[in-house]
Amino acid sequence: MNMPETGPLLSLRDIYKIYTMGESEVFALNGISLTIEKGEFVSIMGPSGSGKSTCMHIIGCLDHPTSGDIFISGKNTSQMNAKELAVLRNKTVGFVFQQYNLISNMTVLENVMLPLRYQGLSISERKARAVEVLERIGLSDRLKHTPGELSGGQKQRTAIARATVTNPELILADEPTGALDSETGNSVIDLFHDINKNGTTILIVTHDQDIGNTAPRRIHLRDGKITEDSCV
Ligand SMILES: Nc1ncnc2c1ncn2[C@@H]1O[C@H](COP(=O)(O)OP(=O)(O)O)[C@@H](O)[C@H]1O
Ligand SMILES: [Mg+2]
């Protein structure tokens, strides 16, 4: 008998992240509860300082909450050890950042091969996988270039190739169009929608309403709280 698919991909329960600055406390996240099902495309919008990046870092287990629980595929991440968390970050989650975070002295191909290093594949298998993803993303003629030789849009496509090469269930993108002109930004968003059509769950942070409104589900943050969570 097959095991049933149990529960949502992601669940946050009453998450607080409090920074202590001398005498004062900053509630970067002030009681966030949120459930995201497999295959959703969700945008998180809100003004600067509303807690968007903090929320993404906590979801991606790059940072710990002060209190509250995060469940990924039903597993409570606060009960995972460092090794289990590293596997989760490498296999389940793909990250895309505003400033691309590519390694500047590596080629496009090497950057995209990097996350496969920990997956027990041979170099030729890693290369074949990376080339396949880069071809699909329209960068097959840039494999040997370094990031410095790419346009902003090409850099972000490389970063998206790197984030998707491991076939993660969840892509977290923090202001992925923030450094791009609007036309290039729109093509990057189209790419996320294409990736979502293959079943990958996408969570995208933006302060740009037009970009955020391309998502069927939109979450608004203000002062570390969810003020709106709506589906169209
Ligand atoms: N490492 C930190 N130390 C202290 N305060 C922080 C830190 N990181 C973020 N904050 C504060 O937490 C709040 C939320 O920040 P952030 O999540 O980066 O917001 P956003 O991404 O929406 O602009 C802000 O008030 C910010 O100043
Ligand atoms: Mg931010």
Tens digits of residue pLDDT in 36-78: 999 999 999 999 999 999 999 999 999 999 999 999 988 999 8
Nearest to 73 by CA among 65, 63, 84: 84
- Cα(5)–Cα(152) distance, integer angstroms: 39
User: Average per-residue pLDDT in the chain?
Assistant: 94
Per residue in 129-154, pLDDT (tens digit) is: 999 999 999 999 999 999 999 999 99
- Cα(197)–Cα(202) distance, integer angstroms: 10
Q: Are 139 and 102 in contact (CB under 8 A)?
A: no
0.95 exceeded by the pTM? no
- Atom of ligand 1 at shortest range from CA of 51: 17
Who lines ligand 1 at CB under 6 A?
19, 21, 26, 28, 46, 48-54
- Atom of ligand 1 at shortest range from CA of 50: 22
Rounded CA Rg of the chain: 18
Nearest CA to ligand 1 atom 14: 51
Q: Are 104 and 159 in contact (CB under 8 A)?
A: no
pLDDT at 176: 95
Amino acid at 66: T
- Atom of ligand 1 at shortest range from CA of 57: 17
Point out which residues pair with 203 in neighbouring strands: 42, 172
- Fold of the domain built from segment(s) 10-231: Rossmann fold (3.40.50)
Q: 54: CA distance to ligand 2 center in Å?
A: 7
Ligand with minimal distance to 48 CA:
1
Q: Are 54 and 29 in contact (CB under 8 A)?
A: yes
Band the pLDDT of 7: cuts 50, 70, 90: confident
Q: Edge-to-edge strands of the sheet including 41-45? A: 93-97, 170-174, 201-206, 41-45, 217-222, 225-231
Angle between helices 152-164 and 123-136 (to 10 degrees): 130
pLDDT at 5: 56
Three-state SS for 32? strand
Q: 62: CA distance to ligand 2 center in Å?
A: 14
- Atom of ligand 1 at shortest range from CA of 21: 4
Q: What burial class does residue 232 get, using C-beta atoms within 10 Å of its C-beta: 0-12 exposed, 13-18 middle, 19+ buried?
A: exposed
Residue 3, pLDDT above cutoff 60: no
Band the pLDDT of 6: cuts 50, 70, 90: low
Q: 151: CA distance to ligand 2 center in Å?
A: 23
Q: 3: CA distance to ligand 1 center in Å?
A: 40
